[in-house]
Amino acid sequence: MNLLPLFAALLLGLPAPLRAEEVILTGPPIWDSAPLIALAAQQPLAADGITFTFRPWTNPETLRKELASGRPVVAMAPVLMAPLLQARGMKGDLLAASVTGGNLWLIGRGSDLDGPEALSGLKITVPFEGNLPDLMLRRILGTTAWQPLYTGAYPASMQMLLAGKADLALLAEPMASAALAADPTLRRRSDLCPLWQKATGATACPPGGALLASPDLPARGKIVTALETAHSDVAATPGQAHALLAGFFPELSTGPGASAFAGITASLLVMPADAAPLRAFYGEIFDLAPQAIGGTLPGPEFYASGIRK
């Protein structure tokens, strides 16, 4: 290590040079990761000795390895994974939850869907049984009879709809926009958010992502403030999320492009001040499928674990 700058600073009575601390930012190819990429591009805390590097993850195992690496990490994780990690004793302080509207759609042919009764008897393709979109749809439908078709992937769900083997497909962006481009007779029959609100009485869209931090995250108060600013900036012009994401996820460079993200509205629930909507959301999921969040409702320490320090 070159100690000359430090010795020179001491001899001249100057502040010692800051030792740069690298923070790894990681997320999947969804809108919620775009603010993390913006932070890495802008480096707003460089003067404080904090640098950001974004690394994409495409499977949960990669995410778990990053959180267990011992390095300072901030990760965008599926919102259901946050309490699961806690229940399994894995490290991951909750900083915030990400909420997006206009991101998850029921695509099909016909008129707008104004309630669960309109879905009675329909065949609906869903990527995975037991994941968040499936649980949300099951909560919305309640006792309404419907026919889930589990496909294992969003592209397969879209293909079944295009082939006429399903009445509706539950698709996230950008796959929802890709389906509309592939068949002009299809339309957005409902954003899942208003159906969720009608079924649960919630006033906001359900959270989809959780920002988790390693316990040794430096200057977390400043980092959370920078995250809030980046999230607000990207949310103000949602179309720019595509450009940020496409630089790390080549699969997003084709297809509908920026238009798929332009209609998304987004907000950030910073913990613990904004915990109430997230707590209510977990309560809805717990009543439906306790195992999806680790078999128990998170306690107060879960929401306070990421408090600014």
Residue 98 phi, psi dihedral angles, 5° rounding: -100, 130
The pLDDT-based confidence of 64 (bands split at 50, 70, 90) is confident
36 CB neighbour count, 10 Å cutoff: 27
Confidence at residue 19, expressed as pLDDT on a 0 to 100 scale:
57
Task: Render pLDDT for 249-295 as a digit per residue (tens, 0 to 9).
Answer: 988 887 787 888 888 999 999 999 999 999 999 999 999 999 999 99
What SS3 class is residue 309? coil
- Judge whether residue 1 has pLDDT over 50: no
- Judge whether residue 98 has pLDDT over 70: yes
CA–CA dist 293, 137 (Å, integer)? 17
Q: Is the dihedral of CA 251, 253, 259, 262 positive or negative?
A: positive
105 CB neighbour count, 10 Å cutoff: 25
Residue found by looking up tokens 């206009």 in the block: 102
Confidence at residue 309, expressed as pLDDT on a 0 to 100 scale:
52
201 CB neighbour count, 10 Å cutoff: 9
CA–CA dist 275, 267 (Å, integer)? 13
Flag the least confident range among 90-94, 211-215, 266-270: 90-94
Q: What is the mean pLDDT of the chain?
A: 90
Percent of the chain scoring above 90 in pLDDT: 74
The mean pLDDT of 149-170, rounded to a whole number, is 95
DSSP state of 229: H
CA–CA dist 114, 131 (Å, integer)? 24
Helix (H) or strand (E) holding 105: strand 104-108
The mean pLDDT of 62-66, rounded to a whole number, is 88
